[in-house]
């Protein structure tokens, strides 16, 4: 299976980057073909360009700066997103990747007079989200009802990859961890990936 692993954390030794290395190693050991997007590491520009926005509804989206990212997304059968949840939202660089790369004509087709939005990421079957939050679980789940999960599940995958299966893993209170909790979460990640064929 072709797997795309996307990381969005500015610190090379962060938990997100540590978990990304674990994910990449496990997927390789399982025989999957891996491509990566380290958004901070590659200096990805999250700002939608003037040309991109001007072409958004033109029928031919301007792709000159993001051709490789589009190819990797469109070819992916498995997608792993690793990022911190900040202020109960995405890091700006990851939001910008969604804005620029999950683009019309590639990730979906706009709604028309003849029907609704049409998903185009038909190859994408498995999606694993791994995120860290400083807050306790009850603030995210009970008080705010998991806003990041809802955007991924309903807005992104519900629009662009309806056939995909989402697994969403959160490491709460991530600024106050011990080795045992980190290893337990690592085991949860391992188990989540074991079913990927």
Task: Give the model confidence (pLDDT) of 167-196 as tens digits.
Answer: 999 998 888 878 899 999 999 999 999 988
Report yes or no: 167 and 119 within 8 Å, Cβ to Cβ: no
pLDDT at residue 126 tops 70 = yes
What is the pLDDT confidence band of residue 137, given thresholds at 50, 70 and 90?
A: low
With a cut of 80, say whether residue 197 has pLDDT above it: no
Whether the CB-CB separation of 25 and 13 falls below 8 Å is answered with: no
CB 197 within 8 A of CB 33: no
Q: How many residues are there in the chain?
A: 197
- 36-70 pLDDT per residue, tens: 999 999 999 999 889 888 888 887 888 878 999 99
Helix axes 179-194, 15-29, angle to 10 degrees: 40
Q: All domains of the chain, ordered by start, with CATH?
A: 2-194 (3.40.50.360)
What pLDDT score was predicted for residue 49? 87
* pLDDT at res. 139: 65
DSSP, collapsed to helix, strand or coil, labels residue 23 as helix
Average pLDDT over residues 96-112: 91
Q: What SS3 state is found at 7?
A: strand
Average pLDDT for residues 130-153, to the nearest whole number? Answer: 82
Average pLDDT over residues 112-139: 86
What pTM was estimated for this model as a whole? 0.93
Which H/E stretch holds residue 79? Answer: strand 78-84
Strands 108-109, 118-119: pairing kind:
antiparallel
Check residue 46 and give its pLDDT.
94
pLDDT higher for 17 or 146?
Answer: 17
DSSP sequence for 91-156 = -HHHHHHHHHHS-BTTTEE--BTTBS-EE--TT--EEEEEEE-SS-HHIIIIIS--HHHHIIIIII
Q: End-to-end CA distance of the chain, in Å?
A: 7
Classify residue 135 as exposed, middle or buried by CB count within 10 Å of its CB (0-12, 13-18, 19+).
middle
Neighbours of 136 (CB within 10 A): 13
């Amino acid at each position: 299976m072709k797997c795309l692993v996307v990381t969005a954390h500015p610190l090379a030794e962060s938990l997100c980057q540590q978990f990304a290395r674990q994910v990449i190693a496990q997927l390789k050991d399982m025989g999957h073909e891996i491509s990566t997007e380290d958004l901070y590491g590659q200096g990805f520009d999250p700002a939608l360009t003037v040309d991109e926005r001007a072409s958004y509804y033109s029928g031919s989206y301007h792709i000159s700066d993001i051709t490789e990212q589009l190819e990797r997304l469109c070819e992916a059968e498995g997608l792993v997103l690793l990022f911190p949840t900040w202020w109960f939202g995405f890091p700006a660089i990851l939001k910008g990747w969604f804005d620029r790369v999950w683009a019309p004509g590639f990730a979906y087709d706009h709604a028309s007079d003849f029907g609704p939005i049409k998903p185009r990421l038909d190859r994408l079957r498995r999606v694993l989200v791994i995120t860290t939050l400083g807050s306790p679980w009850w603030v995210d789940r009970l008080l705010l009802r998991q806003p990041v999960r809802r955007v991924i599940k309903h807005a992104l995958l519900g629009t662009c990859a309806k056939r995909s299966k989402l697994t969403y893993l959160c490491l709460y209170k991530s600024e106050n961890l011990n080795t045992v909790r980190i290893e337990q979460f690592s085991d949860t990640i391992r188990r989540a990936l074991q079913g990927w064929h």
